[in-house]
Amino acid sequence: MKTFIAGHEARTTNDALELALGTPLALWLGEDDETEQEHAARLDAARDILADDPELFDRVTAFAAGLIDVTPIRRPTRTRRTTNRRPGVVSSGVAA
């Protein structure tokens, strides 16, 4: 199955996200070795992009949610343990 966004093929989830955002993921996620100045510049650019397109966050969130297979996990039911206690034995296992 091929996924195309705005006429471009998305081969990976990262490709799909970058095409949906219209920006590299590094702009939003940062780089491991970025300096404080690079970090500040990146955040400024991200703020400008969101200011120009305030609905971008909601569109990308909806798109990302569609990429994730969310299957509810059933919570295990608690079963009550029954122990066969002998008379004269307390719960710590020490004779009374």
- pLDDT tens-digit profile, the chain (96 residues): 567 666 778 888 788 878 877 888 888 889 999 999 999 999 999 899 989 998 888 887 787 777 676 666 777 777 666 666 666 655 555 555
> Residue 41 domain-assigned?
yes
Distance of CA 42 to the CA centre of its chain: 21
Q: What is the pLDDT of residue 34?
A: 93
Please give the Cα distance from 96 to 91 (Å, whole number): 10
Boundaries of domain holding 41: 3-67
> Residue 85 domain-assigned?
no
Q: How many domains does the chain have?
A: 1
> Residue 72 domain-assigned?
no
Q: What is the pLDDT of residue 44?
A: 95
Question: Per the confidence metrics, is the pTM higher than 0.75?
Answer: no
Element (H, E) at 4: strand 3-5
> Residue 79 domain-assigned?
no
Q: What is the pLDDT of residue 65?
A: 77
Sign of the dihedral through C-alpha 39, 44, 49, 54:
positive
> Residue 94 domain-assigned?
no
Q: What is the DSSP string of 66-88?
A: HHS---PPPPPPP------PPTT
